[in-house]
Amino acid sequence: MNKKIVVFTTGGTIASVENAETGLFSSGVMPGEALLGMCELRVPATLDVRSVFQVPSNAMSFANLMVLRDAILQALEDDSVAGVVVTHGTDTLEETSYFLHLTIRDPRPIVVTGSQRTPTEAGTDSFTNIRHAILAAAAPECRNMGTLVVFNEGIYAARHVRKVHAFNPHAFTAFGFGQLGYVDRNDVRILQRPVEEPAFRPSGLPPRIEIVKVSLDSDGLFVDCAVDNGARGIILEGVGRGHVTPACAPSVGRAVARGVHVVITTACEEGRVYPVYDFSGGVMDLETRGAIRGGDHSSRKARIKLAVLLAAGIDDRAAIGRAFAA
């Protein structure tokens, strides 16, 4: 029996068309119905296609994410729906997928996909990725796994997936954790399951949260700038175990004193933030100044998580620390 899958389209490369005047592509302008109409899917599912946005993914905002979340929750009120697919541009796909993972908890799969090549380009990956996402959304094996990303035959956890190539069809991976499984023609194979994370209910848009990268001889200029311009959260992307320069560390203390949550992450692709050294700018020093460890979250994932927590009314340092330790 065919299963009902709701496909939400939001734009991106996967919905782009060529602009004859410029020779470039207009990202996201193709409506979902037109995009799915180009596919020869041959899937055992009945599709309900709904265009939510038609934008390039660099234009996605938290306001867009809230609209998308509400649309998905409304679709899931229908018990006949077996799963959900979201087509999305690749630039911010990893952030959108993690937002959905943190704010929707339903046993049915929510699968996010996109493409690196437009639908009309030779060798496009658009239709294969859509087909595989639909198969995963309909698969009983993918239930109770939260939001997933399906791309280039791989199935990834929203928390760990990251875009790693600017144009190659093998654009996503999960450093240190690997694929949860894969789609091989018509077969969905799950090899491992992610640890369940708590879900949160945002009641509105989050406040300003900025990412500040630290490198050799950095100071606290951009931390101070973020605070002075109204940031309520700062994701500090440090080096190694999460270290910053001695010159940056005092700015962290000043930010915390002004009520800003500072979460420490690492620029490394694998490993977690952890106190090992006693030097100025080390993780222990930053925690003493009031910063919060971001665990193994990338800076972009940490920003999404802090945004969701603050939008859900969780504004206590200890509670935020526990959420990042989960």
> In this predicted model, what pLDDT tens digit does every residue of 109-156 receive, in sequence order?
999 999 999 998 899 999 999 999 999 999 999 999 999 999 999 999
DSSP 105-153: --SS-EEEE--SS-TTSTT--HHHHHHHHHHHHH-GGGTTS-EEEEETT
- State how far the Cα of 114 lies from the Cα of 167, in Å rounded to an integer: 12
Per-residue pLDDT of the chain (326 residues; tens, 9 = 90+): 578 999 999 999 999 988 988 989 988 888 888 888 887 777 778 899 999 999 999 999 999 999 999 999 999 999 999 999 999 999 999 999 999 999 999 999 999 999 999 998 899 999 999 999 999 999 999 999 999 999 999 999 999 999 999 999 999 999 999 999 999 999 999 999 999 899 999 999 999 999 999 999 999 999 999 999 999 999 999 999 999 999 999 999 999 999 999 999 999 999 999 999 999 999 999 999 999 999 999 999 999 999 999 999 999 999 999 999 98
Pair 176, 287 in one domain: no
**E strand map for the chain:** 3-11, 17-18, 25-26, 45-55, 81-87, 110-113, 147-151, 154-157, 162-163, 172-173, 181-184, 187-190, 209-213, 233-238, 261-266, 292-293
Q: How many domains does the chain have?
A: 2
Token pair, residue 221, equals 């200029």
Q: How far is CA 170 from CA 104, 117, 126, 249, 274, in A?
A: 27, 11, 13, 38, 31
Question: Which strands make up the sheet holding 209-213, listed edge to edge?
Answer: 209-213, 233-238, 261-266, 292-293
Residues designated catalytic: 13
Residue 137: phi, psi to the nearest 5?
-65, -30
> In this predicted model, what pLDDT tens digit does every residue of 24-46 receive, in sequence order?
998 888 888 888 888 777 777 88
Supply the range of the domain harboring residue 235.
209-325
Given a contact cutoff of 8 angstroms between Cβ atoms, the answer to whether 17 and 29 are in contact is yes
Pair 158, 268 in one domain: no
**For the chain, how many residues are written?**
326
Residue 202 in domain: no
Pair 186, 228 in one domain: no
- CATH number, domain containing residue 122: 3.40.50.1170
Pair 46, 177 in one domain: yes
pTM for this model (two decimals): 0.96
Pair 147, 223 in one domain: no
Residue 198 in domain: no
